[in-house]
Amino acid sequence: MLEKYKKNDFSGVLIVISSSIFFAMVPSSAKIALDNGASLLVLLFSRCLIGLILLTPLIFLKNQKVIYSSIIFFKLIFISLVSVSLIAVTYHAIEFLNIALVLMILYLFPLGIALITYLTKEEFFQPIQWFCILFIIFGIGLIIVDGSFEGNIYGFFISILGLLLMIIFIYFSGKLANLTGSAIMNFHINLWSSLLLGFLIFSTDIIFKLPENPKGWLAIFGNGFFYVLSYFLFYEGSKRIGITRTSVLATMEPIFAAIFALILLKQFLNLTETFGFIIIILSIFLFERFRINIKTSNIKI
């Protein structure tokens, strides 16, 4: 049993790290698409449509159940609405702020999930974990005081809205993925999101602009491909090592995203931003690490 546990543990870690790498490519590809003429609505719709196209053959080849009870069905629609709103807010935020900073704010989500589980008495925290919360707030304060958001307060508040949506999405989608499986849940998210965005495109006067060149089209495809692949792997990994450890490893995504943004977009963090960024990432990691220790210390093998 111990050998099987270690095998699942190792494979789960690799899957989640792969998910983090793929997800880190999403915001940079989105930025490239927007910079090359694509409108936000086109980017959103194409991302969901590509995900739907990629997942549909997988669902039918595995002959998986697609229709569920009304309760689960409405939960899937709710998560789909949250998902598409989260995507829209994130892409809108990177029009005003550095990609790494937007993701840094979004990846405070493990803290939000931890607070929810504490208030609902699903989790118990050690005193040192509350100190980690203070350091996270301190890290955000460093970035704001540095003046990085000067003239971009709007982008900052949009990112905070994205954080709230991220917390709601991860908390509820994790529970749904355990009921339906990650492929089915992602299939429904992309299906309902595509229908909603398609309705907006054909029934409103919202600006609809396609990419102006092959680079923009390649970025559109990459955005959709890496998006669906990263989320699929995220939930597959969480089945093996649990949502808590998955959330810990997911804090690497902003780091990978910063690396890709540096390579592809030449976006750099200054010294103060980097210091605040490191404090936040380390604080989240330690916060989750102590939470894991509480659980694993009670495991008997």
Averaged pLDDT, 261-282 = 71
The total of other beta-carbon atoms located within 10 Å of residue 54's CB is 18
Question: Which residue type occupies 160?
Answer: I
What's phi and psi for 197, nearest 5 deg?
-70, -35
Average pLDDT on 83-101 reads: 78
Q: Is the pLDDT of residue 179 over 60?
A: yes
239 vs 229, residue with greater confidence? 229
Place of tokens 């793929």: 22
Q: What span, in angstroms and rounded, lies between the C-alpha atoms of 40 and 92? A: 7
Provide the pLDDT for residue 298: 46
Quote the DSSP letter at residue 212.
S
Mean pLDDT, the chain, integer: 76
Cβ neighbours of residue 171 closer than 8 Å, sequence gap 6 or more: 113, 116
pLDDT of residue 113: 77
* Mean pLDDT within 157-185: 83
Residue at 240 is within a domain:
yes
**Helix (H), strand (E) at residue 37:** none
Q: Does residue 128 form part of some domain? A: yes
The residue whose two tokens read 């095998």 is: 7
Determine, yes or no, domain membership for 86: yes
Does 85 or 207 have the greater pLDDT score?
Answer: 85
For residue 154, the enclosing domain spans 2-296
**Structural domain contains residue 301:** no
Q: Is the predicted pLDDT of residue 294 greater than 60, yes or no? A: no
DSSP symbols for 13-34: HHHHHHHHHHHHHHHHHHHHHH
Least confident of 23-27, 61-65, 274-278: 61-65
Q: Tell me the CA end-to-end span of the chain in Å, nearest whole number.
A: 7
55-59, 223-227, 237-241 — most confident range = 223-227
Please tell me the predicted confidence (pLDDT) of residue 140: 66
Would you say residue 197 lies in a domain?
A: yes
pLDDT of res. 22: 86
pTM of the model: 0.70
pLDDT tens, residue by residue, 204-236:
777 778 888 988 899 999 988 988 888 888 878
48 pLDDT higher than 60: yes
Residue 218: predicted pLDDT: 92
Instruction: State the total domains in the chain.
Output: 1
For residue 7, tell me if it sits in a domain: yes
Share of the chain above pLDDT 70, in %: 76
149 in any annotated domain: yes
Tell which wins on pLDDT, 42 or 299: 42
Mean pLDDT score, 279-296: 67
Q: Is the pLDDT of residue 124 over 60?
A: yes
Comparing CA positions, the residue from 92, 84, 103 lying closest to residue 158 is 92
117-121, 146-150, 153-157, 222-226: which is most confident: 222-226
- 93 vs 161: CA distance, rounded Å: 10
Domain-located, residue 223: yes
Position with higher pLDDT, 71 vs 162: 162
Which residues have a Cβ under 8 Å from the Cβ of 127 and sit 6 or more positions away?
none
